[in-house]
Amino acid sequence: MKFIFIYLFLSWFVLSALAQQINYHQHIAPIIRTHCLRCHHPAGIAPFSLETFEDVASRGGFVQYVTSTRYMPPFKADNTFQHYKNENLLSDLEIEKITQWVAAGKPAGKRIKASHPEVADEHQKSLVVSAPVQSDLRIGMRNTFHMPEMQKEEFRYFHLPLQNKEEKFIQTIRFIPGNKKLVHHSRLMIDTTGAIAGINGISESDTSIYQYQTKPLADPFLFGWVPGNDEISFPKGTGKRLHAGSDFILNMHYAPTPVPAKDSSSIQLTYVDAPIIREVITLTLKEDQISNLPFIIPANKIPTFYMRTLPLEEDVSFISVMPHMHLLGKKFKAFAITPAGDVIPLVNIPEWDFNWQMTYVFKKFLKVPKGSIIYAEGQYDNTRNNPKNPSNPPIDVTYGWGTKDEMMNLIIYYVKYQVGDEDIPL
């Protein structure tokens, strides 16, 4: 009891002292730089900037609310289940600092000079964050896409010609939405046949699209973009293979628009600067691997579906995982079970949020031995109690690419295992 009292007293003393001297430049700016500026800068995906003291102070009460409720930053994976390189979670002390700063009247304090000019203050730091990513290639749509007034979602395919003359390995992929209000999500694929160029601009509802789906793609899922998942950078010494003579196919999902709109989205690539490379391979769990089919979410029900792979044919090292569901999604969990019966946690999303999906990169290569089976569980809430349910009253829902349809996917990037991988940080 004595030790508890001492702990509470010291905590009160520290917080009281903090409240008396807390200011933006000393205490709050480092938190904003670390956790917020990746999205909240003028060119970011967030709806407003937190680049300067004035930006943050003008929204101080809002910032305090969304951080204290842990709505922001929106990192949805359970880090007691698995840890990730790209975790973005505020500590209790950081949240308390923001609360105390707002309560103290949001004082600015004095700017702190750093030893390196590029991080001298929060504005300078944000310039680094906002700066364009250096890339070997930026490739956009052949023509601006003009979308008329539409009361429903639109799915379009675009051909991005590359025709590289030699094989390369991709280090970093970044998607840049040309119209942040219109672009809902996108999927990037690779074609090496040269026979799909005519798909450019075609709607998914156009029956002529089937003539372009008769030949297999070299990579049917190179990268998937949703807000919050704007870039993937593969570990040093690894990369995604880009065969000679490749073209990109971009599948775009556009939101409904009450007025005519246009889009000119693009992708940025950096290549691996190394003669020898380990190829990154994509493993995708899809709806046809669900064990308790059919994949139908009945109205007024909260069903759970289960997916599994066949046993892995070799030792592999996982780099990352990305779950995917739509608006009825409630929970998602994935793990591997080894031949010895050991469980390897992959990802657990206890409260699914369709509006914030991301690729979770492991802190180190995650070895998954030969013979292991990957399992995934997805729970859906098709009741009136789900505030994101697009149908009222609820209706039966099944597979489809539309937001009002449902999906259940797990996308895994991996390389073939090499001895010592599990000790290599990513």
Residue 321 has pLDDT above 50, yes or no: yes
Please give the average per-residue pLDDT across 210-231, as a whole number: 82
Right CATH number for 281-423 from 3.50.50.60, 1.10.3720.10, 3.40.50.720, 2.60.120.230? Answer: 2.60.120.230
Q: How far is CA 34 from CA 49, 132, 397, in A?
A: 14, 18, 40
Please give the average per-residue pLDDT across 147-158, as a whole number: 85
pLDDT digits (tens, 9 = 90+) for 2-36: 555 555 555 555 555 554 589 999 999 999 999 99
Residue 113 pLDDT class (50, 70, 90 cuts): low
Please provide the DSSP assignment of 205-238 as one string. T-GGGGGGSSS--SEEEEEEE-TT--EEEPPTTE
d(CA 75, CA 250) in angstroms, rounded, equals 27
Closest CA to 135 of 175, 192, 85: 175
Per domain, the residue ranges of the chain are 2-130, 137-275, 281-423
Residue 130 pLDDT class (50, 70, 90 cuts): very low
Residue 135 pLDDT class (50, 70, 90 cuts): low
Residue 213 pLDDT class (50, 70, 90 cuts): confident
The CATH class of the 137-275 domain is mainly beta
pTM of the model: 0.82
Residue 126 has pLDDT above 80, yes or no: no
Residue 129 pLDDT class (50, 70, 90 cuts): very low
Residue 139 has pLDDT above 70, yes or no: yes
Query: In CATH terms, are 137-275 and 281-423 the same topology?
Result: yes
pLDDT digits (tens, 9 = 90+) for 393-422: 999 999 987 788 999 999 999 999 999 999
Return left, alpha or beta for 304; rule: phi > 0 is left, psi -120 to 50 is alpha, else beta.
beta
